[in-house]
Amino acid sequence: MNGKEFDPGLENDGPLTCHDCQGGLQEYLDGTLAKKQSLRFFLHLRDCSDCQENHATMQGLFEMLDTLPACEVPADFDDAILASVPYASYKEMEPLRRERVPVYLEEHFLPQLVRSRVTRWSGLGVTIASVVAAVALDGPAWLPISAAVGLVPELLVRLQGLGRRVVSMGSAGRAES
């Protein structure tokens, strides 16, 4: 879809106008319309030679685009772009040149409640207490579940930190080569 929802007169069950057909032809070709709307397009295209021609043109274009080979971005693409930028602009773009880290590895991605020391220590305390109760007291069957749940905040924070280290090691290795 093209980013906007197409609504060719949903309240109207009658035939489409050429204007409505042209406005929603992309969605019709993509197959994203509801069955009832799609049927209205089909019926209009069956009877309207102008819209049939536009439909055939767009369909041919999409088929041609599908046959194009995939292109990989050259490894030096960023450097080539930055080399073509005047120095003052280059200096202003410094934040963009910094190593990009996936959003889920950014510290603020995890809610503060999960990252807080109180939550992490409390979770570890619940885990330890649950394991001790399960082993020593032969506690109820839900204790291993509570032990696992207690570990979640600490594991999330640790995995996120590990991910950041892996990304920074990878970028340091690329910088050396």
**Residue 35 · residue 23 · CB < 8 Å:** no
Residue 109 DSSP one-character state: G
Give the count of beta carbons closer than 10 Å to the beta carbon of residue 24.
Answer: 23
Name the H helices within the chain: 18-30, 35-47, 49-67, 77-83, 87-92, 94-97, 112-115, 117-136, 143-176
Supply the pLDDT for residue 9.
Answer: 53
Kindly tell me the burial class for residue 36, based on how many C-beta atoms sit within 10 Å of its own C-beta (0-12, 13-18, 19 or more): exposed
Is the pLDDT at 171 greater than 90? The verdict is: no
Is the pLDDT at 5 greater than 70? The verdict is: no
Is the pLDDT at 103 greater than 90? The verdict is: no
Q: Which of 47-51, 88-92, 110-114, 134-138 has the lowest mean pLDDT?
A: 88-92
**Quick one: average pLDDT of 87-106?**
70
Q: Which of 70-84, 111-125, 141-155 has the lowest mean pLDDT?
A: 70-84
Provide the mean pLDDT of the chain. 82
What are the structure tokens assigned to 41, written together?
């397009």
Supply the pLDDT for residue 12.
Answer: 65
Is the pLDDT at 173 greater than 80? The verdict is: no
Domain ranges, ordered by start, for the chain: 18-67, 103-170
- Please tell me whether the overall predicted TM-score, pTM, comes out greater than 0.85 for this model: no
Supply the pLDDT for residue 177.
Answer: 53
